[in-house]
Each structure stands twice: as structure tokens, then as C-alpha cells.
Amino acid sequence: MNWRKVWTIARHEYLTNIRRTGFIVMTAIVPALGIIGLILTVLLLPRGEDVAAWLERQFDIGRKPIGVVDRSGYFTPILPEHQGTFVLYESPEAAEAALRADELQAVLVIGEDYLQSGEITALTRESFGEAAIADSERVRTFLIAHLLAGQVDPAISHRVADPLENLQARILSETGQERGGGMVFTFLIPYFLAIFLIMTIFSSSGYLLQSVAEEKENRIVEIIISSVRPTELMAGKVLGLGALGLTQVLVWLGSVWGFTGGMASLLALVGNVGIPARVFILGVVYYLLGYLLYAVLMAGVGALGTTMRESQQLAGIFSFIAVIPYMLASFVMINPNAPVARVFSFFPLTAPTMMMLRIPMGEVPWVDIVGSIGALLLSLPVALWFGAKLFRVGLLIYGKRPTMREIWRILRS
Amino acid sequence: MILQVHHLTKRYGDLVAVDDLSFEVEPGEVFGLLGPNGAGKTTTIRMILDIIPPDSGHITVLGNSPAAAQPRIGYLPEERGLYRNVQVLDMLVYLAELKGADRVRARQRALEWLARMGLEDRAHSKVKDLSRGMQQRIQIVAAIVHDPDLVFLDEPFQGLDPVNVERVKGVIADLRREGKTVVLSTHQMNLVEVLCDRILLINRGRSVLYGPLAEIKRQFAPHAVRVRAPEIPPGLPGVVAVEIKDGAFHLSLAEGTAPRDVLRALVDRGVDVQAFEVAPVPLEEIFIQVVTVAQDESCATDQEE
């Protein structure tokens, strides 16, 4: 391995790709969002309001009132605290007309013998609405409050209707420090950050695929491998484009850190707000390992295609595997330590993305962190061997895409 | 010797691409590596450049193994290509650096060669904005920008107009003057005749003709003379047949008849001889003849089998 040549190649790849418009736009997007966020916060925030609550409200989907047709008599008139969110209608037709006019979220028709049968007909415009109403905290609170009104002490009635009204969720971190600051700071920013990091793994290994396929498609590879060894070419590309991805990651991490910190101090937020260092450090570790693994595989597969398009098709198999953690993201958000999430954390191709999704969500067992990093470290030499072999042989195959049998023969030889 | 190839063999599955090939290239010469399409020229060049390993045989380039000699070799592949989105000068410097050249020196040489190719004002253009002919010339610069001692040019004239063909011929002449060795592979036999000192003709991976061009031409020359005159009287001694070829008389001679005997006979008979020469044989004809014979023979052996 001639490291001077590796360095020359890495430098060339870095400098060529850093000028790509796509890269500049992607890199600038996070600082830009941060600046917009800061400006909006300063301009829009009413003085003295609870910042966390305000921010959270910005993520709330707007809700319209629910129409009620009361045949049982238990819900007429509507209690003062529910007026506005619930509106009484004389007939189902009138309520339906309002729903059609998009004035209502849903219509509840409460049956005559509701107390015995519990019968309620719910009418919504979207199919998802039915499920939403069935476990909607709002509807439950409304029903309980009216049934108990006048029967028990109003304070008891109120508490029964919403026993978790003032839940204070605090997360104990490993340092024993508590974190507050609401959903947005605790979960959403780290979560989006994780998604961005994952995107970087795929965009930089995608650049790698593109650069290999391009050199092959325009045949310049023939000149290059008359000057350097294929392994040197691969190493140079992996390092150069890895450095490119790392540049992007560091710009993002720096701006997120800066802006969340800036926002927090600007708004005098109390508590240890923001993203714990653990998320940052592990983020970079998983980025590096994940990128390295995907990069060498992409280099090998990229070299097999005869055109850019063909190479991208061949790389599709890895993209598919990489997407699995995304598909499970909603489960991971609810329970970052769900068995399915843990299983995928130990499989090298999904480990970096899965761990990046899990870590911001809460405490992840140490065994998972060590295990996933171990799995990545063990699989890297195998991927390196596999990728280098495909790369070396694939580079000189022009005109015709090799069949699976030929690929198998290459790997065995 | 600049290059020594001994018993080189390369197989792809059942196909023998290069079959026990041996040849040598002398320092400072222009060596023609010729052969029909698919004869194994590119495979041979790739093995010399250490792009692919031979199955058997031995190669010594510039006194070294192919891997060690790489930085001192230049290569214009038949399969052309350049980075499309990179500036010409940056790309040339990068390619020279990959060969181990110093960046500052490479830049200087790249500018020199671009000027020699009439492309000095294109140094900062992107490759995709250039015409094919310009790209072709830049590719030739890419092959020599790192100041190699041995240069492989695979079809350097392909797609060039006559002006640029002259330019590239000039580059080859310059290289030779600088004491570099050039291995030239082309199908344009008229250019081989002008440029090459020695040639190797391969067919189906085997050497079929090898040696100094002048000697080969002599060996293949027909026993005939070419005469430009108003008429050729019948019954000249030693003349077996008279044909008209390319506006001149082509006189085939009997064995033992020297051309000067024919000239004397013509002058004696008062023929107004305007031109007289030993009939030349174009390399193209030798090429076709040798390759066709080889193919006929192999067909025959195939049938016998």
C-alpha cells in the first residue's frame, strides 16, 4: 500500500465532491434550520411563557371540536370546561353537515340506553379517525366528567377523568442527572439528528458508488489502475469520501449543539437541556463504523456494474437492508429496548442505523452498545476482503454485467 | 532492452487470449504492436502495465517488474475516457500525481504539452465542454504528462482529423527525439509504415510476424517492378506477366531476373521510361495476407480435428 497515492486519491475525491451542489445544500440545511428556528423563537415567543410548552405546541396537530348528538341526556348541557372542544347538535343530520363542512373533527352519536349498552356511534371523515377516537384521551375525559357530574365531589370527578393530568416525566441519566426540557429537546432534536447522521452514511457511500461507477463508465479507470493498485484506489476513495461525510456530520453536530444551546440560554430555559455528550460521541462512532462498512461494500458492488444505473441497481440490496431500522422507527420510539430493536442492533448491516435511532430515545443497555460495536468491528475485515475482491475484478469488466455465478467464481478464486 | 516479454500466456476460461508470446522492445524505437481486433493486443498491454496478471510467462519492463515500472510508463488505452466534470489541468495534474510525479512539476509539464497540442487556452475548461478531437488530444497528454520513459499508445489516431493526425505524429517524433520508447498499436498501416522501426503482428494471441519493418517488407516484396511509361513492348526477357496497377505497369519477373536487366531492356528498346522502381508492397497487404493465411490454416486444422 503506497500511502502517498492513497492520500492523493483521497484528496482528489474530497475536493471534487465537496463542490457538488447536492452536498453543499445538504450540509447547509441543518445550520439553516437552526437559524430559522432561533429567529422564529425570538420573534414569535410571547414573553414569559413556558418555552418548552410553547415549543411542544408547535408540534401539535391542530384539532377541531367534536360534535355530540346526545340521546341519553347525560351530556346535556356540556360542562363549562368542555365547551368549545365539544359542541352539541340536535340531530345527526345537522352534525353530519358540519362534519362535511370540515368544521368538526368527528361526530359522536350517544345512544338512548348508553348507560346500559355503552353504545356510541362515531362518524369521521378519515378511516384513521375511528381508531383515534376510540382511545382518545379527550373523549374519555369528556364522557367520565359528564357521567360523574353532580354525583361526586367535583375534585374527585376531575381527578378520575384525568388521573395523569400533571405527569412529570423525568429521565434519570447514567450520571444521575435529571433531564427536563420537554419532548422537543429530549427526543425530537436528537432523533432528527440521528436520522441526519444515517442519511450521511448513505449519501457518502452513495457518492462512493457514484465515483466508482463513473470512473468505470467513462473508462478512466483503465488509466488509474495502470498507476495505482486497486486496493489503493479503494482505500483512497473510502477515506476521502469518509472525510467528506465526517465534515458534514461535524457541521451538523456543531450547529445543533450551538443552536440548541443558544436557544436554551436565549430563552433562559431551566434544567440540563439539550443533547447529552454520549449521543454525540456514540453518534460519531456509529457514523464511522457504519460508513466504513457500507463504503467498502458499495465500492465492491459499484465496480461490478458497467454503468452508473446498473451499479445503483446492484447496490439496491444493501439499501433495502439499511432501510429496515427506519421501518421499525415507530416501535423504537416507543420502546428503544424492544427485542426486535435489540436483535437488529447486533446485525452488522443494521447495527449503526438501529443504534443511532435507539440511543437518543433513552438508556440503552451497555451490552447492546458493546455488542453492536463488536459486531461491526468483526464484520469489517470480512467486508473489506469481499469489497476489495469484487472491486479489483469488477473494474475491468466492461460491456456485460457479470452473472451471479461469475460473481461467485470471482469470490472463490 | 526496454521491454522483454517471454512466453506470455493468458487464458479467459476456454479462450486463450495470449498464447506463448515473446518479443522485445529496444530503447528509443517506435515499436508497432499490430493485429486484427481481438488478437490479444490490449490483453498483452494490460499485463505489461500490471493491470492484470499473466497466467504464465515473464515480463521485464525498464529493468524491473511491471509493478515497479508503473510510474515510468505512460498509457493511452483504447477505451477512452476522462473525468467529465473536472478542469483539464486539474485532471492532468491528478493523473500525473497518481504516477508519483511532483505536483508543481506536473502542472508545468501539463501546460507545456497542452500548448504543444494547441490547447493552451483550454486548461481551465471542463472536459465535457470540449470536442471529441480535443478530448482525444488531452488524453494523449494524460499519457505523457508524467514524463514516462516508455509510452503505450493504443489507437492514438482514432477519430482525429488530418491536421490532428499530423500533430500526434509530431508528438511521437518529439518523444523519440527525447529518447523515449513508444509502443504503438493501430490499424492504420500507412501510419505504421511512416512511424515504426520494428513491428510485431499478432493473431489469436500468437506472434505471426516480428522484426524490423524494412526487413519484413523486403521479405514480402513480390519479384516485380513498377514502371511508368507510355507503353511496354511485348516479349521482354524475364518478364512473366504485365498488368496495370494504380496507373502504372506492374511487371512480374521470372526467377533469376534482376530489375536492372529489365530496365536495360526497356531503355534498349527506346521506351520512354518516366519512372521505374522495385514494386513495393504496402504493409496493409502483408497484414491481410498473413492474417488470412493464419485463419485459413486454423480453419483447416479445426476441420481435421
Block means of pLDDT (10 residues each) for chain B, 305 residues, are 93 87 95 91 92 92 92 89 88 93 93 91 91 89 94 90 91 93 92 93 92 89 86 84 85 85 88 86 86 72 50
Q: How far is CA B141 from the centre of its chain?
A: 19
Residue B291 lies in a domain: no
Same domain? For B213 and B245 the reply is no
With respect to residue B90, please indicate whether it lies within any of the assigned structural domains. Answer: yes
* Same domain (yes/no): B17, B102: yes
pLDDT band at A167 (very low <50, low <70, confident <90, very high): low
Rounded to two decimals, the ipTM of the complex is 0.80
pLDDT band per the 50, 70, 90 thresholds, residue A398: low
The answer to whether the Cβ–Cβ distance between A226 and B84 falls below 8 Å is no
**pLDDT at B200 (0 to 100):** 96
Considering the domain architecture, whether residues B206 and B251 belong to the same structural domain is answered as: no
Structural domain harbouring B261: 222-278
Same domain, B204 and B228: no
pLDDT of residue A174: 46
**Which range has the top average pLDDT, A42-46, A126-130, B191-195, B293-297?**
B191-195
Q: How much is the pLDDT for B184?
A: 95
Q: Does the pLDDT at position A273 exceed 60?
A: no
Report the percent of chain A where pLDDT is more than 90. 9
A236 to chain B: closest CA residue: B98
Is residue B227 located within the same domain as residue B198?
A: no
Is the minimum CB–CB distance between A8 and chain B shorter than 8 Å? yes
Q: Which three cell numbers stand for residue A39?
A: 429567529
pLDDT digits (tens, 9 = 90+) for A73-98: 888 888 888 887 888 998 888 888 88
Smallest Cβ distance to B79: which of A8, A222, A225? A222
Domain with CATH 3.40.190 in chain A: 66-161
Instruction: Answer whether A228 sits within 8 Å of B98, measured CB to CB.
Output: yes
Partner A contacted by B96 (CB < 8 A): no
- Do B242 and B211 fall within a single domain? no
Crossing angle of helices A366-394 and A277-304, rounded to 10°: 20
Relative to beta strand B224-228, strand B150-154 is: unpaired
What was the pLDDT predicted at B47?
92
pLDDT at A99 over 90: no
Q: What is the pLDDT of residues A238-255, one digit of tens each?
A: 999 989 988 888 888 778
Question: Which pLDDT value is given to residue B114?
Answer: 93
Q: Do B142 and A398 touch (CB under 8 A)?
A: no
Q: Looking at residue A359, what DSSP letter applies?
A: G
Instruction: Name the residue facing B97 among A8, A217, A220 (closest C-beta).
Output: A8
Q: How far apart are CA A262 and CA A41, in angstroms?
A: 11
C-alpha cell at B2: 526496454
Is A66-161 a domain of CATH 1.10.287? no
Domain boundary residue, one of B217, B245, B263: B217
Q: For residue B302, is it within any domain?
A: no
Residues B82 and B114 in one domain: yes
Interchain CB contacts (distance < 8 Å): A and B: 58
Q: Which residues of A touch B50 (CB under 8 A)?
A: 226
How many helical (H) and strand (E) elements, i.e. helices and strands, does chain A have?
A: 19, 6
Band the pLDDT of A56: cuts 50, 70, 90. Answer: low
Q: Are residues B118 and B233 in the same domain?
A: no
Q: Is A3 on the interface with B (CB under 8 A)?
A: no
Q: Is B57 among the domain residues?
A: yes
pTM of the model: 0.73
Can you give the pLDDT at residue A179? 46
Domain assignment of residue B16, yes or no: yes
* B259 & B235 share domain: yes
Q: Is the pLDDT of residue A204 over 70?
A: yes
User: Rounded mean pLDDT of A220-239?
Assistant: 89
- pLDDT tier at A180 (50, 70, 90 boundaries)? very low
Domains in chain B, number: 2
Domain for residue B268, yes or no?
yes
Q: Is residue A39 classed as helix, strand or coil in its secondary structure?
A: helix
B140 located within any domain: yes
Among A121-125, A320-324, A405-409, which stretch is predicted with the lowest mean pLDDT? A405-409
Domain C-terminal end among B198, B217, B236: B217
Q: What is residue A178's predicted lDDT score, i.e. its pLDDT?
A: 45
**Strand locations in B155-272, DSSP E?**
181-185, 198-203, 206-212, 224-228, 239-245, 248-253
Q: Do B179 and B124 lie in a common domain? A: yes
CATH number at residue B181: 3.40.50.300
B82/B163 same-domain check: yes
Interface contact B94-A220, CB threshold 8 A: no
- Is A5 in the B-facing interface, judged by CB distances under 8 Å? yes
Residue A195 is predicted with a pLDDT of: 76
Please indicate, yes or no, if residue B65 is contained in any of the structural domains: yes
Cross-chain residue pair B142–A223, CB shorter than 8 Å: yes
Q: Encode burial over A37-65: b for 16+ CB neighbours within 10 A, e otherwise.
A: bbeebeeeeeeeeebbebbeeeeeeeeeb
Are B92 and B165 in the same domain?
yes
Q: Pick the residue with more confidence: B54 or A259?
A: B54
DSSP state letters, A242-278: HHHHHHHHHHHHHHHHHHHHHHHHHTT--SS-S--HH
